[in-house]
Amino acid sequence: MDCGTDERQYGHGGDGDAAEWKKVAELREFVEAQDPSAKEEDDFALRRFLRARDHNINKASVMLLRYLAWKRVTKPHGFISDDEVRGEIAKGRDRHQGFDRLGRPMSYLYGGRHFPVRRDHEDLKRYVVYVFDKICTKLLTGQEKFAAVIDLKGWGYANCDIRGYLAGLDIMQSYYPERLGRVFLIHVPYLFMAAWKIVYPLIDDKTKKKFVFVADRDLDATLRDAIDESQLPEEYGGKLKL
């Protein structure tokens, strides 16, 4: 399933000012003239690309056209099926359940369960797209962002995958703009910070602000402040069964 449902059926509902929606219309006209497949994207999707490029129509159009070309190659049938990523699913690196207090669907990623591959990262890239699309299917009407917890408990040198991290980051920033709301990094080992120093400069400024490192002493209070107990997994002291 593609990540963006057709939210035009709900109207703009006052979300965003008139000047912004006018720019969305201009962006649509410009991009559709070059790639008719843009007609399949709803206005909210176009607005996310526009916002990702600070409302610069020229820059947003380049980004959107690149996305449309990527989408045709990566998801020729409109989605990536479970069968295409069965091996990646079996690794149990992520779970997607519950919502934070802002109504954003939650994802839980376990860094200690990921191990780098010696070949290319095409399987991982395909799985990253599958995961993003899966998260987006959980978005409630009027909500465009998701939140995540990256649990690095047990993470060590054997789990370090700079190429994989950069591949996932590129997919998120290039093809799923303005989807990420907040990421909590927990149980962070000192060794991880060496990898983070490599990845961090390649994160755009807006996205950098969305990563929050949580000290163990603050973990319970931080998660409970962001997520209601009924939506917080049992492994973190809540009542939600994953």
Query: What distance in Å separates the CA atoms of residue 237 and residue 230, rounded to the nearest whole number?
Result: 10
Pairing type for strands 180-186 and 146-151 reads: parallel
Task: Place 8 in a pLDDT band, splitting at 50, 70 and 90.
Answer: very low
φ, ψ of residue 99 in degrees (nearest 5): -140, 155
**Count of CB atoms within 10 A of residue 53's CB?**
17
User: Are 88 and 124 spatial neighbours (Cβ–Cβ below 8 Å)?
Assistant: yes
Among the ranges given (15-19, 20-24, 162-166), the one the predictor scored with the smallest mean pLDDT: 15-19
pLDDT of residue 3: 52
User: So what's the pLDDT on residue 213?
Assistant: 98
Q: Which residue has the tokens 């965003």?
A: 16
pLDDT of res. 89: 95
What pLDDT, on a 0 to 100 scale, did the predictor assign at position 55?
Answer: 97
Q: Are strands 94-99 and 211-213 parallel, antiparallel or unpaired?
A: unpaired
Number of other residues whose CB lies within 10 A of the CB of residue 140: 10
Residue type, 151: D
- The more confidently predicted of residues 232 and 118 is 232
Q: Tell me, what's the pLDDT at 147? A: 98
* Residue 2 in this model has a pLDDT that exceeds 70: no
Q: Give yes or no for residue 9 having a pLDDT over 60.
A: no
Task: Report yes or no: 106 and 98 within 8 Å, Cβ to Cβ.
Answer: yes
Strand partners, 213: 185
Please state the separation of Cα 108 from the chain's center in Å. 12
**Mean predicted lDDT score pLDDT of the chain:** 93
**CA geometry: angle 177, 48, 197, nearest 5 deg:** 25
| Phi–psi pair at 87, nearest 5 degrees | -65, -35
Give the Cα separation of 150 and 145 in Å (integer). Answer: 16
Output the pLDDT for position 175: 98
